[in-house]
């Protein structure tokens, strides 16, 4: 079983959305995979996702209201096969905690699934309006679709 970790800064907007969308594709395509999410920062540990993230996904029949924030830990390198980060800041924060090349090989920016080596950020929607969450959804839906297709072939 492939284990996938979605990582952002606070674990209340982008990465729980990525987890929920990925889980819906795992269910839809009956993929043998596990998905979780976390944040590099501790600000929102134990909190549920931002209400704008919850309501944006509810419109697509995806429920993420049961998720709770947790912080990235070094053990995540051992417990997951793929670590997808949302932006370059998350990338450097995770890479800084890596112990060896095997850890680093697991880490990539999620939008590189669509635009190889593009290093495009899923920008932080936290300080913007609801439209930002809609574009977060669109980006993550496309990226997780590619991940799902790859996992289906494995």
Question: Where do contacts with ligand 4NP occur on this chain (CB under 6 A)?
Answer: 8-14, 39, 43, 124, 126
**Sheet arrangement for strand 33-39:** 33-39, 2-8, 82-85, 107-109
User: With respect to ligand 4NP, which residue has the nearer C-beta, 71 or 98?
Assistant: 71
Integer angstrom CA distances of residue 137 from 14, 56, 84, 97, 144: 8, 8, 15, 28, 10
Q: Of 7, 1, 2, which is closest to residue 110 (Cα–Cα)?
A: 7
User: With respect to ligand 4NP, which residue has the nearer C-beta, 125 or 151?
Assistant: 125
Q: Is 139 helix (H, G, I), strand (E, B) or coil?
A: helix
Strands (E), the chain: 2-8, 33-39, 82-85, 107-109
Q: Which residue, judged by CB position, is nearest to ligand 4NP in the bound state? A: 10
Options 38, 78, 124, 141, the catalytic residue:
124
- Min dist CB 18 to ligand 4NP, Å, is 9
- Min dist CB 39 to ligand 4NP, Å, is 6
- Min dist CB 136 to ligand 4NP, Å, is 8
14 catalytic per annotation: yes
Token digits of residue 37: 């999410």
Q: Is 143 helix (H, G, I), strand (E, B) or coil?
A: helix
51 catalytic per annotation: no
Q: What CA–CA distance (Å, rounded) separates 86 from 14?
A: 7
- Min dist CB 91 to ligand 4NP, Å, is 13
38 catalytic per annotation: no
User: With respect to ligand 4NP, which residue has the nearer C-beta, 123 or 152?
Assistant: 123
Options 13, 14, 50, 76, the catalytic residue:
14
The residues annotated with a catalytic role in the active site are 8, 14, 124
């Amino acid at each position: 079983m492939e284990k996938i970790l979605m990582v952002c800064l606070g674990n209340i907007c982008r990465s729980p959305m990525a987890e929920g969308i990925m889980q819906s594709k795992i269910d839809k395509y009956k993929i043998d995979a596990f998905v979780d999410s976390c944040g590099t920062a501790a600000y929102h540990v134990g909190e549920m996702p931002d209400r704008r993230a919850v309501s944006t996904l509810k419109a697509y029949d995806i429920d993420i209201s049961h998720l709770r924030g947790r912080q990235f830990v070094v053990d995540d390198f051992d417990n997951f096969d793929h670590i997808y980060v949302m932006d370059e800041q998350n990338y450097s924060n995770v890479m800084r905690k890596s112990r060896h090349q095997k850890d680093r090989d697991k880490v990539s920016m999620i939008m590189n699934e669509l635009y190889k080596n593009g290093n495009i950020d899923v920008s932080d929607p936290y300080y913007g309006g609801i439209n930002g969450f809609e574009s977060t959804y669109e980006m993550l839906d496309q990226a997780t679709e590619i991940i799902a297709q790859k996992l289906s072939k494995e």
